[in-house]
Structure 1
Amino acid sequence: MYFNEDKLKAIGTRFEGGKLAKKVHKSIEQLKRHDPDVQVSSEPTKFLLVSNSSILCGVSLEELEAIFLPLDEQAEFVVYPNKRSYSFVQCSSVEAAIKVRTELHGLIPMALKGSHQPFIISYVNELPEAKKCENYRPADLGIIEDYISADYEKQLVHMLINHPSVQSLKHRAVVHFGHVFDYSTNSASEWKEAEPIPQIIEDLIDRLLSDKYITERPDQITANVYEPGHGIPSHYDTHSAFDDPIVSVSLLSDVVMEFKDGANSARIAPVLLKARSLCLIRGESRYRWKHGIVNRKYDVDPRTNRVVPRQTRVSLTLRKIRRKPCECKWKEFCDWDRKGSISISPNDYVSKLIVGEMSVPSSEDLALKLESSYVSDVYENIASHFDETRHSSWKAVKKFIDDIPRGSVLYDIGCGNGKYLIPKDGLFKIGCDMCQGLCEIALKKDCHVARCDALSLPFRDGSADAAISIAVLHHIATFERRKKMIEEMLRVVKRGSKICVTVWSMDQSQSEYSKMRGNKDDVGAIDSSSQTTNRLKVHDGKDFEQQDVLVPWTIDKQGETFLRYYHVFKDKEAEDLINNVDGCELISVEKEQGNYIIIARKI
């Protein structure tokens, strides 16, 4: 007996016949590629493969529940956050699975807001096997399951939940011991004491020391009580505030904590923290990766992709206040700037009035060091991968080149892999680049190329009819050096000749990149009137928060990530630069896909 149409939300257009058969075949082939251990069954089972039903297809778990639960209120789901176009549904019985498939196979449910493909449903013998959690963990992260007993957990929870000093925050309740945690700075001061650490937690610390998971006694303890659906934003435990490691004990309920690579925001590692487990956030997992818990009422077990409802959870975090400068090797993510000031003063240190390693350079020498480490060295490492990804031309740049009279000499300053040198367009083109690897790649493409610094070109005065420099100027770290590069380009072209220079814009709201992000971020024009900080930050892939940033470049196959220095240009900055160069006339500044295309003339 089936649900009538008034109760059933999954009503829509149904595919039948040969068209449906083709889609079934395609669905089974996808399953073979991604989950070869799962076999399609010719006989009904309680396990269903449902194609076109994943988050990748724009179908949320809530929409799946709205469609399937009216047919089987005990149905359970296995969903994939990415890389799969299907989900699995485990029904309460074979009979229930038959009902579900009869109602939904070949149907485009009207309840779906974003999908225009029908559900293709097949019976399978079993669900995918569990995967090892180690495959999802950042380096140096330690997980020890069943570290504390159920009886000890009960005592801890009773003490924490009923403690008179429990405070309510927006999404959780907290209580501090030893020293007060300051949420405005993500730090703790050794001068601001909280309630003494209870003996039951001191006993836990004794065990951690005995098991050699820590070497010093933590002196700042934070207990959090999370109701189902509540989490904590993604964050670093401040480098300058606490020693390594950060220790966390989970109580009452399992939860999935998401770790996000600070050098590659698309790299997310979901890690299952089981009740009574110990989590050691140390080394790279502490200093390079952010961690947080998403606000939602369910989790997806990273081992099985099975949806698990959340319960009330208590966490106990143990930290040791840092009393000397942080010297971790992940300085790009560290708020304690080497040889300089720190962004906050959590332990009442006095900030030094000198420039640190990760500060925006204020001199020629510092700029050279920054460009060497975060531009020149990086491009040597990524040259071959860069070549694989750089083929298309900017429309405005192509138009500039097409307008140059045939037979003219064109210099390409920072020619990269030679993509603008390759076309046979009647011009005599010579390229140059600081990167040896890119020069060799361009040379193999029969390009004329020299290795040199863009601020010291090896060409004679007035020897070219035009010059271009595509995506190079924004790698130059000071205004004076950027000005020098424009002067060099003007020096080597004839009087009356034009140059074309492109740079990244701070406002990426009209770029294809921002369109691909869709509604994930609030994308719009940026008020870039000032630098938010004098310290270089790693760009997280969203809107630019400041002009001087380190932008990740990830080599997918190798999993390596490199950080490139950029000075992204704010509105009218290109005009100001050109107007400060003697003998230079600005012709136009156009915007194309998040880039400024600057055209100027030597006068």
Structure 2
Amino acid sequence: MYFSDEKERPVGSRYEGSKLLRKIHKSHEQLKRHNPDVVISEEPTQNLLNLRRFFRPLDPGCQFFVYPNKRSYSFIQCSDAYLATKIRKEFNGFVHPKLKSSHQPFVISFVKNVPEKGIAETFRPDGLAVLDNYISKDEEKTLTDFIFSHPKVKMLKHRAVLHFGHEFDYDTNSAFRETEPIPEIINDLVKKLKYDGYISAWPDQITANIYEPGHGIPSHYDTHSAFEDPVVSLSMLSDVVMEFKDGANSARIAPVLLPRRSLCLIQGESRYRWKHGIVNRKHDVDPRTNRVIPRQMRVSLTLRKIRTVPCKCPWKEFCDWDREGEMGVPKSGNEAERLEGSYVADVYENIASHFDETRHSSWKAVKKFIDDIPRGSVMYDVGCGNGKYLIAQDGLIKIGCDMCNGLCVIAAKKGCHVMRADALKLPFREKSADAVICIAVLHHIATLERRRQLVEEILRVLKPGGCACVTVWSMDQSHSEYAKMRGNKDENEAIGKGQNPGKTEDLKKNKAERLKVHDGKDFEQQDVLVPWVIDQENKTFLRYYHVFREGEAEELMHSVDGCQMVSVEKEQGNYIFVFRKS
């Protein structure tokens, strides 16, 4: 569907004349950008652009092609050109009564062709395999009849479940409590899997899920510490689209069709780095063809092997196993230096060029701070990055420093005065600066003592009465234009949130003490790894951040001798605070 940027129009209203022509032209331009192979037609054809499935009453035989990746249009292939003409005449430019009042009118055009290939299933996570027709119709009926008739089926909010071998614990996302033995009918399936070479160890945790049409399962990891590789899933009675989401890049989604009677092997990277889930909806879009397919009752059978030795997968940032504290929140200076070296210094060396391409605008509060510095003053930029605050010819004597050699080279080529230096050991004389700015640096320092040391270094180089402006990320991103809406969560079924198997209190403690890859939603803890994505190169890097809670900056400043807080304000999810050397 095409939706304009105009205000809401009343239900039943219609675009007319030149306004409709402008909307049609705009939708055609959008189509050319996204699908240059699709040709607009002035003559009636059986293909219409921009229709929804409630138009089917006018043409029961029509087929829909939908773009789930946030395209604002769809295609419909009508039974013939006559019905296509009838539908277009009735609905073009019209807000149908079945639509909500917030919808825009339909903008409908004939096209000579629809896209030949699906555009959604352009990639799959490494290690993921889908095997069509793994079981026969008779085997499917035998398995589903057994599951439907079992007396111990348990109802959850969005599905019914049945466990064998060990019961899956949805609080810890592990399975250590023995339950009903695995029945022979499922053991026959296991024998087939072993014979075909898809598994090597006998699974000891089996979950059967029964989904009504429209129901799904939240996006989750199958916990590293709880289960071995692979996780095996058999789909029965209905096709379904499972979404795989890159744990280091929440915008990277791979919709994968799981056909009826297919076997899905989730292993390697797809198992350890990617989340998987099924969206609650009554229709899916086949990612291979973009055709709309209705869901029916579906049964899945998931087979897992309980892990008995520590996980040693290469995806340690996504692993919940302790690994002797390697991915824990640093408690000492040595641990902090190691973490900052791997997840700050090394990362910026790798992303320096891309960072420069994406960092040009200035924070309003920072610009105001600089504008208020008397002309002729000396200003240091600690952590100057690509030099964006050093470039302006504003009558100040400005010198920058940064730990990243790549960024220093970039800034120097722009004519900036820069040097490579550690922010905790500044190469400047005491009391030599009238002002200092330190933008987006302090939140990369991994312990309180080291953050305090950075503030002390800034004070050391400031003249008495001199001021500094420091910015950090806020834990509360609710008023940031970059904040993403938090999805609805079912706390009872938030699969994949568990930590090491065992005691619940140990799990909670372990979670709080471990670094976590930020998923683009609200921050759940202060010490996180935040993805930096370079789409052109299909690369993702993880940067360490300590995001600041409300009042934390003030506490830090008050703990440093000679530091006098001047102001704190918030701008686009950042705390910007100014302090003076007393």
The one-letter amino acid paired with 2:154 is Q
The answer as to 2:39 corresponding to 1:39 is: yes
Q: Would the aligned equivalents of 1:219 and 1:321 in 2 still touch at CA under 8 Å?
A: yes
Deviation at 1:37, TM superposition (A): 3.3
- Find 2:244's aligned residue among 250, 259, 264: 259
Matching residue of 2:409 = 440
Matching residue of 1:125 = 112
1:285-334 per-position Cα deviation (integer Å, ceiling 9, x unaligned): 11011111111111111112211110000101011110100001111111
CA distance in 1, matches of 2:263, 2:205: 17
Deviation at 1:83, TM superposition (A): 4.7
For the aligned residue pairs, the C-alpha RMSD in angstroms reads: 2.1
CA distance in 2, matches of 1:537, 1:587: 33
Matching residue of 1:580 = 559
CA distance in 2, matches of 1:282, 1:531: 25
Equivalence map 1:263-282=2 (5 Å) = 263-282=248-267
Matching residue of 1:224 = 209
1:103-143 per-position Cα deviation (integer Å, ceiling 9, x unaligned): 12233556354444x43322223432233886231111111
- Find 2:348's aligned residue among 376, 379, 401: 379
The one-letter amino acid paired with 2:303 is L
Matching residue of 1:242 = 227
1:51-95 per-position Cα deviation (integer Å, ceiling 9, x unaligned): xx6xxxxxxxxxx345x2454455442221235232112334433
- Find 2:476's aligned residue among 507, 510, 515: 507
Deviation at 1:194, TM superposition (A): 2.1
CA distance in 1, matches of 2:471, 2:179: 55
User: Which secondary structure state, in structure 1, belongs to the residue aligned with residue 537 of structure 2?
Assistant: coil
The one-letter amino acid paired with 1:431 is G
Q: CA 1:518/1:320 → structure 2, altered by over 3 Å: closer, same or farther?
A: closer
Matching residue of 2:302 = 317
Matching residue of 1:352 = none
CA distance in 1, matches of 2:451, 2:539: 30
CA distance in 2, matches of 1:510, 1:195: 50
1:411-458 per-position Cα deviation (integer Å, ceiling 9, x unaligned): 000000000000000001000000111111101100000001000011
CA distance in 1, matches of 2:29, 2:203: 54
Q: CA 1:272/1:92 → structure 2, altered by over 3 Å: closer, same or farther?
A: same
The alignment of Structure 1 onto Structure 2 pairs a total of residues equal to: 553
Q: Would the aligned equivalents of 1:133 and 1:272 in 2 still touch at CA under 8 Å?
A: no
Q: Which shifted more, 192-201 or 300-309?
A: 192-201
TM-score by length of 2: 0.91
The one-letter amino acid paired with 2:517 is V
CA distance in 2, matches of 1:248, 1:476: 43
CA distance in 2, matches of 1:206, 1:109: 55
CA distance in 1, matches of 2:119, 2:88: 31
Q: CA 1:439/1:301 → structure 2, altered by over 3 Å: closer, same or farther?
A: same
- Find 2:463's aligned residue among 485, 494, 510: 494
Q: CA 1:76/1:113 → structure 2, altered by over 3 Å: closer, same or farther?
A: farther
- Find 2:448's aligned residue among 456, 460, 479: 479
CA distance in 1, matches of 2:149, 2:450: 62
User: Which secondary structure state, in structure 2, belongs to the residue aligned with residue 446 of structure 1?
Assistant: coil
CA distance in 2, matches of 1:404, 1:119: 55
Q: Which blocks of at least 5 consecutive residues in structure 2 are unaligned?
A: 1-9, 490-508
Deviation at 1:531, TM superposition (A): 11
Q: Would the aligned equivalents of 1:138 and 1:284 in 2 still touch at CA under 8 Å?
A: yes
CA distance in 2, matches of 1:531, 1:317: 27
The one-letter amino acid paired with 2:187 is E
Q: Which shifted more, 477-486 or 586-595?
A: 586-595
CA distance in 2, matches of 1:69, 1:214: 45
Q: Which blocks of at least 5 consecutive residues in structure 1 are unaligned?
A: 1-8, 54-63, 340-355, 523-529
Matching residue of 1:350 = none
CA distance in 2, matches of 1:263, 1:304: 28
User: Which secondary structure state, in structure 2, belongs to the residue aligned with residue 302 of structure 1?
Assistant: coil
Deviation at 1:14, TM superposition (A): 2.1
CA distance in 1, matches of 2:295, 2:266: 22
Deviation at 1:196, TM superposition (A): 2.0
Q: CA 1:520/1:201 → structure 2, altered by over 3 Å: closer, same or farther?
A: closer
CA distance in 2, matches of 1:519, 1:280: 29
CA distance in 2, matches of 1:132, 1:390: 31
User: Which secondary structure state, in structure 1, belongs to the residue aligned with residue 407 of structure 2?
Assistant: helix
The answer as to 2:15 corresponding to 1:14 is: yes
Q: CA 1:573/1:15 → structure 2, altered by over 3 Å: closer, same or farther?
A: same
Matching residue of 2:92 = 105
- Find 1:395's aligned residue among 327, 348, 364: 364
User: Which secondary structure state, in structure 2, belongs to the residue aligned with residue 437 of structure 1?
Assistant: helix
Deviation at 1:581, TM superposition (A): 0.6
Deviation at 1:150, TM superposition (A): 1.4
CA distance in 1, matches of 2:575, 2:29: 45
CA distance in 1, matches of 2:398, 2:392: 10
Matching residue of 2:332 = 363
Q: Would the aligned equivalents of 1:240 and 1:322 in 2 still touch at CA under 8 Å?
A: yes
Q: Would the aligned equivalents of 1:136 and 1:271 in 2 still touch at CA under 8 Å?
A: no
Deviation at 1:395, TM superposition (A): 1.2
The answer as to 2:422 corresponding to 1:453 is: yes
Equivalence map 1:89-100=2 (5 Å) = 89-100=76-87
1:546-588 per-position Cα deviation (integer Å, ceiling 9, x unaligned): 1111111111211211111111111111111111111111111
CA distance in 1, matches of 2:368, 2:43: 63
- Find 1:470's aligned residue among 432, 435, 439: 439
